[in-house]
């Protein structure tokens, strides 16, 4: 199996189009046409992780955080990033990062976080904006079913928990072909007027090329008339953070102790207790100070995230319990999820969970 085949599976799990614009995801180092010998899954692709990959005969490291986040102007081995990159290149080890592509997935980082806490009735906290497109096309009634099915198979027509969604309306179409035309119905220079079906479907923007290929291949006309619009609708199943409910309400202190046990925190920094029972909980793995207001607006009783600064605790405004549980801790189970996913999709192949703890933060 080549590395590019494994990448296809990874992109099914965490489509790169889901990643934030600032992020650096996908294949960061290596040749995708090389035969894979094994996959090592980790949180951070540090130098000791590359050593582990060498020892375990894995030439593909799948990491959550991208070791290459911003540009490198020199590669001299003077810092931890450069040393990891040099060692990976010297030993022909590829590195692939998922990061916010998995953060934004409805089954990704924040669903894993929510499941660790036993939250139910979960939904995305900050749905992704400007991610949905709409295709409108026209064809003869005899061709409508074929076109619709082709579009559905290419990924169009998915709305929330529903698939194969479309709107179809009848109308009258007209055209007249010139001397270079080869019309399916009628003749050159003939004014044709006949029944047509207008088909409308929505799709995720990164699927546009695939959708158009399916349209052109299945359409009966020589010249395919179509329109594509950008919709302002939020994508309810893609986005950052998640909010859900505890099965049983807890006091603030009980909830923090419960969280500490479930995600194995070395410590939790939190805002003032306000005497509020905790039932509705918002979570965002990693640095999530930007979503404090979103959690309040969503009616959360508590918001769990990481990397909060001193003054940001004031932003709780006595509306909710704000807690910083640690960056690594909030994403702790992500690599386990990736391993489980790959083992289900790639049978009889070495998919190994790294034994290294890459958390740089230690607690007394």
**Taking Cα atoms as reference points, which of 131, 122, 170, 120 lies closest to residue 17?**
131
User: Cα–Cα distance between 195 and 186 in angstroms, integer?
Assistant: 13
**Residue owning tokens 């001299």:** 76
* Long-range contacts from 356-364, C-beta under 8 angstroms, 24+ separation: 356/42, 356/46, 356/48, 356/49, 356/52, 358/42, 358/43, 358/44, 358/46, 358/49, 358/328, 359/43, 359/326, 359/328, 359/329, 360/328, 361/266, 361/326, 361/327, 361/328, 362/266, 363/266, 363/267
Q: Are 334 and 43 in contact (CB under 8 A)?
A: yes
Q: Delineate the domains of the chain, giving CATH numbers in brackets.
A: 3-99+333-353 (3.40.1390.30), 105-128+239-330 (3.40.1390.30), 131-231 (3.30.70.120)
CB proximity list for 355: less than 8 A, separation 6 or greater: 52
270 is in an annotated binding site: no
Q: Are 332 and 42 in contact (CB under 8 A)?
A: no
Can you give the pLDDT at residue 200? 98
User: Cα–Cα distance between 77 and 270 in angstroms, integer?
Assistant: 38
- Digitized pLDDT (tens) for each residue of the chain, 364 residues in all: 999 999 999 999 999 999 999 999 999 999 999 999 999 999 999 999 999 999 999 999 999 999 999 888 999 999 999 999 999 999 999 999 999 999 999 999 999 999 999 999 999 999 999 899 999 999 999 999 999 999 999 999 999 889 999 999 999 999 999 999 988 788 899 999 999 999 999 999 999 999 999 999 999 999 999 999 999 999 989 999 999 999 999 999 999 999 999 999 999 999 999 999 999 999 999 999 999 999 999 999 999 999 999 999 999 999 999 999 999 999 999 999 999 999 999 999 999 999 999 999 999 8
- H/E element, 123: strand 120-128
180 is in an annotated binding site: no
User: Cα–Cα distance between 12 and 98 in angstroms, integer?
Assistant: 11
Treating both helix axes as pointing N-terminal to C-terminal, what angle do 109-117 and 252-262 enclose, rounded to 10 degrees? 120
Treating both helix axes as pointing N-terminal to C-terminal, what angle do 3-13 and 334-345 enclose, rounded to 10 degrees? 120
338 CB neighbour count, 10 Å cutoff: 26
65 is in an annotated binding site: yes
């Amino acid at each position: 199996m080549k590395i590019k085949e494994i990448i296809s599976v990874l992109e099914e799990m965490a489509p790169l189009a889901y990643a934030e614009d600032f992020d650096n995801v996908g294949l960061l180092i290596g040749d995708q046409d090389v035969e894979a010998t094994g996959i090592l899954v980790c949180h951070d692709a540090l130098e000791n992780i590359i050593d582990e990959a060498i020892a375990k005969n894995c030439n593909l490291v799948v990491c959550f955080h991208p070791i290459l986040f911003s540009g490198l102007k020199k590669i001299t081995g003077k810092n931890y990033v450069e040393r990891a990159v040099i060692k990976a290149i010297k030993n022909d080890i590829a590195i692939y990062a998922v990061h916010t592509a998995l953060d934004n997935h409805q089954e990704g980082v924040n669903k894993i976080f929510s499941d660790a806490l036993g939250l139910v009735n979960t939904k995305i906290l900050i749905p992704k904006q400007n991610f949905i497109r709409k295709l409108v096309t026209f064809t003869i009634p005899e061709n409508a079913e074929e076109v619709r099915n082709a579009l559905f198979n290419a990924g169009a027509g998915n709305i929330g928990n529903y698939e194969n969604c479309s709107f179809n309306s009848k109308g009258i179409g007209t055209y007249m072909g010139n001397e270079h035309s080869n019309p399916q119905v009628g003749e050159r220079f003939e004014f044709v007027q006949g029944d047509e079906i207008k088909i409308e479907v929505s799709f995720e923007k990164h699927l546009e090329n695939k959708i158009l290929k399916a349209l052109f291949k299945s359409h009966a006309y020589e010249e395919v008339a179509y329109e594509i619009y950008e919709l302002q609708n939020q994508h309810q199943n893609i986005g950052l953070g998640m909010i859900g409910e505890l099965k049983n309400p807890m006091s603030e202190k009980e909830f923090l102790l419960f969280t500490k046990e479930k995600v194995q925190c070395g410590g939790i920094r939190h805002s003032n207790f306000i005497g509020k029972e905790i039932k509705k909980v918002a979570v965002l793995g990693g640095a999530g100070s930007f979503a404090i207001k979103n959690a309040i607006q969503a009616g959360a009783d508590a918001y769990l995230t990481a990397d909060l600064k001193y003054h940001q605790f004031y932003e709780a405004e006595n509306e909710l319990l704000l807690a910083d549980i640690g960056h690594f801790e909030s994403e702790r189970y992500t690599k386990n999820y990736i391993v489980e996913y790959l083992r289900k999709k790639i049978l009889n192949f070495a998919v190994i969970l790294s034994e290294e703890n890459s958390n740089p933060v230690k607690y007394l």
